[in-house]
Amino acid sequence: MIPNHSFEADEHSCKPDKPEEACGVFGIYAPGEDVAKLTYFGLYALQHRGQESAGIATFEGETVHLHKDMGLVSQVFNESNLGHLPGNLAVGHTRYSTTGSSRVVNAQPVVVETRLGSLALAHNGNLVNTKELREELLARKCEFVSTTDSEAIAVAIGWEVDQGKDWLEAAISAFAMCQGAFSLTIATPQGVMGVRDPHGVRPLVIGTLPTTPQRYVLASETCGLDIIGAEFLRDVQPGELVWITEEGMASFHWSQQQKRKLCVFEMIYFARPDSIMEGENLYTYRLRIGRRLAVESPIDADIVIGVPDSGIPAAIGFSQASGIPYAEGLIKNRYVGRTFIQPTQTMRESGIRMKLNPLKDVLEGKRVIIIDDSIVRGTTSRKIVKALRDAGATEVHMRISSPPVTHPCFYGIDTDNQDQLIAATKSVAEIGEQIGVDSLAFLSREGMLSATNEDTKSFCSACFTGDYPIEIPEMVKRAKLILEKAAT
């Protein structure tokens, strides 16, 4: 999903101080329904997974209709252009914001032409062998219009189709060429596919519409089903391909190497708290890690607050376990979208008030525990701490409901190079000093994983350990890892 590009050194200061999810995908097979509008609402619910671009492709028999553009889902689509997307099936995509690749050509779905008709593909994740795959396809005289690994997957399927295979055979052959993380929704004139890589790093779920005959929906998260009244059926399994046609839904295990490694950051931060993973709403898991954090790193204080919105469930859990009252200390401006207008120097110096504003009446004279889900570079944390002190907090203690992020992700999260990750170069005490808190503590990796109530080996936590479950090519590693650079 991530284009091939390089970051300039000064670009890091412009990036949000959070890991950014790759994207959200959606798919639907529902003849007789307004599939474009249902896809629009599904993407609307998945907007948190990406705010850079959005797109929908529908199939009306052999004819594909496509609309995609830069911006939020509600900015890209309206009643008029949705009305020009007729069909019986659709796939949709909302993409994350990444410096250096804000181009419509990289927006999805990707559409390629084959002997069997058009193919539209939406991808969440990131391949680690994009360079090799692209070179192999170029040697086969394939053509590309973008720089994304997503297009390489679509082109690989198209090439296999053009060698005489049907859609299923071609897709399975192409996936065998792909290494890395990929959850896909793929539309063809015949039907819709939902696919996950053998490790299931990124989520993908199946739902059913309350129609007769039964119709199926695919989405990155269950919140994308809820919004259109679809009922959650189950997850697409790691290494599984589901094929949805007029005959219903068929399942194929295209890989025999399944070894589930769901990204644990989906549990902590990325997915919406009302989405279901591991049989429960993620809000419940986030309460548990907040409670565990209170047990592991207690501190005496007057109030507990959370950084909106992602830190709030853990803050409530911390309050429950510690007995320290929970309060709202920061108000979020929820209408702040992606903007290209740079703030004035005075605004920069005042910190983060465009997005978060402290409640002075709540904070003044108080010893405050503030809970957040992660610290990446520390720039936002430092501004939040300053804002709390300016509002009158007498002490500020920060607790983080995940371990220190010490390694970059190669599987579809836009994290910095390792030397930009504050925990990769500083101790906890040094981080605390840099962001200006009275104390700082992180949740243990054991606490994070055990709170899932699942097999702790079934999650990818490489950003905390450097133990990557899918082998990373040496050249790709060297682009992001400090030690690899030092060894050259």
Which positions are catalytic?
Answer: 23
- Asked if residues 249 and 216 have their Cβ atoms less than 8 Å apart, the reply is yes
- Asked if residues 331 and 308 have their Cβ atoms less than 8 Å apart, the reply is yes
Its sign, for the CA torsion 405, 238, 449, 382, is positive
Its sign, for the CA torsion 295, 300, 301, 302, is positive
* Token code pair at residue 347: 């605004």
Nearest to 311 by CA among 365, 406, 381, 405: 381
* Token code pair at residue 194: 């939902």
Rounded distance between C-alpha atoms, residue 163 and residue 432, angstroms: 59
Rounded distance between C-alpha atoms, residue 309 and residue 373, angstroms: 10
Collapse the DSSP code of 400 into the 3-class scheme (helix H, G, I; strand E, B; otherwise coil) and give the result: strand
Collapse the DSSP code of 221 into the 3-class scheme (helix H, G, I; strand E, B; otherwise coil) and give the result: coil
Q: Taking each helix axis from N to C terminus, what angle separates 312-322 and 282-296, rounded to the nearest 10 degrees?
A: 50
Nearest to 123 by CA among 162, 99, 157: 157
Cis peptide bond upstream of 309, omega within 30: yes
Q: What is the DSSP string of 145-205?
A: SS--HHHHHHHHHHHHHHTT--HHHHHHHHHTT--EEEEEEEE-SS-EEEEE-TT--S--E
* Token code pair at residue 411: 């599987």
- Asked if residues 403 and 367 have their Cβ atoms less than 8 Å apart, the reply is no
- Asked if residues 22 and 125 have their Cβ atoms less than 8 Å apart, the reply is yes
Question: Could you give the C-alpha distances from 102 to 146, 264, 340, in angstroms and in order?
Answer: 12, 27, 12
- Asked if residues 284 and 294 have their Cβ atoms less than 8 Å apart, the reply is no
Collapse the DSSP code of 442 into the 3-class scheme (helix H, G, I; strand E, B; otherwise coil) and give the result: strand
